[in-house]
């Protein structure tokens, strides 16, 4: 079936993001065109097939080391058997977003800003995705109803809550949509007077930078102030194409910031993290958050210890440019907690955090 589908496909045009999406890798055979797939990887792909979504853009696959299974790009995108193991305390939604979901697409967790989860689709499915059950798990999703349900209740919710001054388009990856669909969403939000800023959360600059076209940027710049949060995890991802995508956004006045997830065996050592963060400054992207990896189902094998994260932070602060250093945070049902000693306490009952409102909770199940 895949064969006949491919037979009707036009040849891959490297610079064309739609062509890249059409040519996404979704089978072991296609992956073999890029890397020497190991037996273990092949087993994992088969085992994950009816459980998790899997696809890789040809561009992102081209960054992979052909012979090294531990390549940081490979580990982020090729399924692993560890995804099927359950760690203690793991849950599908450890950060509690579902409890804050107000409409089909709106997650309202903080007083003045909301997430608008516009899709569950992505260009490349990151194996460590914190919303794995939403983006990848074929059984579970936030969108229990069809993804195509009317957006009116979502816009109405935002319009009827004047405290919301910051709307963050997330998902999934919003840039999976066409320019005209995005234009429609953003222009609707712009009609709401109390929405001051709009943010786009997207990994396209990393996994398919060709998506950041002049046409997209020209459309977006009509809607300033716009902010863009992207997601580089490893210095190998800072390619000339990725740099050009970020440069293009910046030249259209869109501030680009980065959120990294601390991932075991990928970026959990000081030299790699330092190279990533200073590399981001060279492409004028500002490091924003370093997320402690969530203990989500199918993701826990990427988690590092809290001590590891702190050790990296201590090796950065003072040693390098102040604004190269992101905030190291743990996402909890009470919000993001900066992981400095003063915010997280250990007593006989385990680890406790206190959020910005002074609310406290035990976070043992969130830390591996
Ligand atoms: C992270 C997050 C935000 C945005 O938080 P900032 O700290 O302002 O970047 C908003 N809503 C949810 C549910 C979040 O997890
Ligand atoms: S692009 Fe973002 S939402 Fe999509 S799989 Fe990767 S981390 Fe998850």
- 23-37, pLDDT tens digit by residue? 999 999 999 999 999
Domains contained in the chain, number: 2
Is 93 touching ligand 1 by the criterion CB < 6 Å?
A: no
Is pLDDT larger for residue 3 or for residue 51? 51
Q: Ligand 1 pocket: which of 99, 102, 113 to mutate (most atoms <8 Å of CB)?
A: 113
Instruction: State the distance from the centre of ligand 1 to the C-alpha of 57, rounded, in angstroms.
Output: 27
| Strands (DSSP E) found in the chain | 106-110, 113-117, 166-170, 197-201, 226-230, 255-262, 286-292, 327-332, 335-338, 344-347, 350-354, 360-362
Ligand approaching nearest to the C-alpha of 93: 1
Same domain for 156 and 302, yes or no, is: yes
Same domain for 223 and 320, yes or no, is: yes
In this structure, the strands spanning 360-362 and 350-354 are antiparallel
Q: Kindly indicate the confidence band of residue 8, based on its pLDDT and cuts at 50, 70 and 90.
A: confident
pLDDT 10s digits, 289-302:
999 999 999 999 99
CA pair distance 337, 154, nearest whole angstrom: 27
Is 115 touching ligand 1 by the criterion CB < 6 Å?
A: yes
Instruction: State the distance from the centre of ligand 2 to the C-alpha of 285, rounded, in angstroms.
Output: 19
| DSSP β-bridge partners for residue 332 | 335
pLDDT at position 2: 45
3-state secondary structure of 366: helix
Same domain for 251 and 324, yes or no, is: yes
Domain CATH for 177 = 3.20.20.70
Q: Is residue 292 part of a domain?
A: yes
What is the average pLDDT across 257-262? 98
Is the whole model's pTM more than 0.85, yes or no?
A: yes
Concatenated DSSP letters of 233-271: -SGGG--HHHHHHHHHHHHTT-EEEEEEEE-TTTT-SHH
Same domain for 62 and 183, yes or no, is: no
| DSSP β-bridge partners for residue 255 | 227
Instruction: State the distance from the centre of ligand 1 to the C-alpha of 353, rounded, in angstroms.
Output: 17
Same domain for 182 and 281, yes or no, is: yes
Q: CA of 144: how far to CAs of 103, 140, 236, 343, in Å?
A: 12, 8, 36, 36
Q: Is residue 280 part of a domain?
A: yes
Same domain for 123 and 47, yes or no, is: no
Q: Is residue 345 part of a domain?
A: no
pLDDT at position 340: 84
Q: Is residue 359 part of a domain?
A: no
Same domain for 74 and 102, yes or no, is: no
Position in ligand 1 atom list of the atom nearest CA 109: 13
Strand order in the sheet with 344-347: 344-347, 350-354, 360-362
Same domain for 121 and 236, yes or no, is: yes
Instruction: State the distance from the centre of ligand 2 to the C-alpha of 319, rounded, in angstroms.
Output: 31
Same domain for 130 and 214, yes or no, is: yes
pLDDT tops 60 at residue 1? no
Q: Is residue 54 part of a domain?
A: yes
pLDDT 10s digits, 41-67:
999 999 999 999 999 999 999 999 999
Q: Is residue 91 part of a domain?
A: no
Q: Ligand 2 pocket: which of 48, 172, 200, 291 to mutate (most atoms <8 Å of CB)?
A: 172
Q: Is residue 199 part of a domain?
A: yes
Q: Is residue 349 part of a domain?
A: no
pLDDT 10s digits, 82-138:
999 988 889 899 998 989 999 999 999 999 999 999 999 999 999 999 999 889 988
CA pair distance 324, 63, nearest whole angstrom: 24
Same domain for 29 and 173, yes or no, is: no
Q: Ligand 2 pocket: which of 93, 171, 177, 291 to mutate (most atoms <8 Å of CB)?
A: 171
Same domain for 215 and 174, yes or no, is: yes
Same domain for 222 and 125, yes or no, is: yes
| Residue range(s) defining the domain that contains residue 149 | 98-338
């Amino acid at each position: 079936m895949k064969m006949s589908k491919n037979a009707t496909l036009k040849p891959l045009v490297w610079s064309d993001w739609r062509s890249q999406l059409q040519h996404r890798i979704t089978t072991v055979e296609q992956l073999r065109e890029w890397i020497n797939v190991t037996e273990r990887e092949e087993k994992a792909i088969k085992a994950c097939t009816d459980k998790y979504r899997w696809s890789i853009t040809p561009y992102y696959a081209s960054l992979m080391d052909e012979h090294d299974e531990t390549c940081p790009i490979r580990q982020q995108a090729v399924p692993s058997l560890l995804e099927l193991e359950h760690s203690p305390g793991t849950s599908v939604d450890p950060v509690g977003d579902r409890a804050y979901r107000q409409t089909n697409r709106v997650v309202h967790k903080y007083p003045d800003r909301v997430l608008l989860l516009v899709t569950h689709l992505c260009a490349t499915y990151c194996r460590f995705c914190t919303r794995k059950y939403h983006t990848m798990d074929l059984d579970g999703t936030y969108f229990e109803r069809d993804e195509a349900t009317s957006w009116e209740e979502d816009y109405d919710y935002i319009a009827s809550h004047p405290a919301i001054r910051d709307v963050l388009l997330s998902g999934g990856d919003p840039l999976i949509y066409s320019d005209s669909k995005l234009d429609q969403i953003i222009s609707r939000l712009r009609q709401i007077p109390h929405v001051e800023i709009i943010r786009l959360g997207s990994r396209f600059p990393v996994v398919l930078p060709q998506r950041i076209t002049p046409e997209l940027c020209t459309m977006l710049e009509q809607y300033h102030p716009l902010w863009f949060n992207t997601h580089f995890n490893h210095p190998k991802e800072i390619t000339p194409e990725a740099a050009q995508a970020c440069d293009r956004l910046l030249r259209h006045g869109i501030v680009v910031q980065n959120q990294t997830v601390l991932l075991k065996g990928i970026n959990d050592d000081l030299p790699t993290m330092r190279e990533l963060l200073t590399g981001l400054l060279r492409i004028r992207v500002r490091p924003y958050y370093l997320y402690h990896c969530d203990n989500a189902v199918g993701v826990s094998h990427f988690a590092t210890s809290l001590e590891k994260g702190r050790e990296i932070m201590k090796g950065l602060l003072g040693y390098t440019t102040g604004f190269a250093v992101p905030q190291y945070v743990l996402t909890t049902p009470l919000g993001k907690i900066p992981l400095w000693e003063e915010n997280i306490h250990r007593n006989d009952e385990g680890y406790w955090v206190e959020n910005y409102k002074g609310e406290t909770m035990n976070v043992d199940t969130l830390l591996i």
